[in-house]
Amino acid sequence: MRELFDEAFGKSPLDPQEAVRRTTRGPSRKRFYARAGMLEVADGFAITLDGKPVRTPSGRSVVAPTREIAEAIVAEWEVQQETINPLTMPLTRFANSVVDAVVDRVEAVADDVAKYLESDLLFYRAGYPEALVAREAAHWDPVLFWAADALGAHFILAEGIVHVRQPDQAIKAARAALPVDPWSIAALHVVTTLTGSALLALALTRGVLDQDQVWAAAHVDEDWNIDKWGGDEEVAARRAARLVDFRAAASILRALNPPSG
């Protein structure tokens, strides 16, 4: 089982797209177990195959923090057929990365998320046409208003792609809002890298936007170009692959950060 994780799922906790690319390079593995399950342990729910704990490349047991998340991981293993297809197992890949490489470096992952706050997608606006300007504002302004009101993070907008230095206090305020548990910060990091926006990831974590709203907001410009010029099959395929990991990360955030009230 350890070799399967090492070769198929990869070791990077921060790049889900690289983990997917790894899966396309190695040989397919036959299903070697009859039943997937879970076992309640001191710090959560250990994932098992035929009663034996699933282990990461470093030898750690894969332990999910909640029953809901564990059940979702088990379900990924259960639906595998004669061969195991890691592309259909985003939560398993995510769990492997968290346990092996995020648990002991939460602060480093949070720091990496905070770097996005220096040049977040939402800061850089189109100057024309008016319809695109309006569409960006409709999707992005509510998140910026929320960050200012709820977090005390007041960011500066710019037209075009010329870098604008953001206030240190704004970055500090938004970083303070990042979750501190390894599963949440890892999921938030995945959403950040897939959308290009730490603020969208924070809005998703706090329940300000749902996952469909975040995904739409992250693709305003891309969807505008598709509407105007048409789509591309290769681009659409890459986007669909990213969406799989995005939804997995969003489900983790939803499970661990339920909306209050």
Domain 106-256 fold is ATP12-like fold (1.10.3580)
- Residue 215 parent element (H or E): helix 211-218
Q: Give the Cα separation of 174 and 152 in Å (integer).
A: 8
Q: How far is CA 33 from the centre of its chain?
A: 29
The boundaries of every CATH 3.30.2180.10 domain in the chain are: 2-102
pLDDT for 8: 40
Both tokens of 75, joined, read 């379900």
Tokens 């907008």 correspond to what residue? 157
- Class of CATH domain 2-102: alpha beta
pTM: 0.90
Token pair recorded at residue 73: 């991981």
Report which secondary-structure segment, H or E, holds 45. Answer: strand 44-49
Place of tokens 């009859």: 34
- Tens-binned pLDDT, residue by residue, of the chain (261 aa): 444 444 444 444 456 555 545 544 556 789 999 999 999 999 999 999 999 999 988 899 999 999 999 999 999 999 999 999 998 999 999 999 999 999 999 999 999 999 999 999 999 999 999 999 999 999 999 999 999 999 999 999 999 888 999 999 999 999 999 999 999 999 999 999 999 999 999 999 999 999 999 999 999 999 999 999 998 999 999 999 999 999 999 999 999 998 765
Q: How many angstroms separate the CA atoms of 2 and 130, rounded?
A: 54
E strands in the chain: 29-30, 36-41, 44-49, 52-53, 63-64, 83-84, 124-125, 158-159
Give strand ranges (E) for 65-142.
Answer: 83-84, 124-125
Write out the residue limits of the CATH 1.10.3580.10 domain(s) in the chain: 106-256
Q: What is the CA radius of gyration of the chain?
A: 19
- List, for residues 64-97, the tens digit of each pLDDT value: 999 999 999 999 999 999 999 998 999 999 999 9
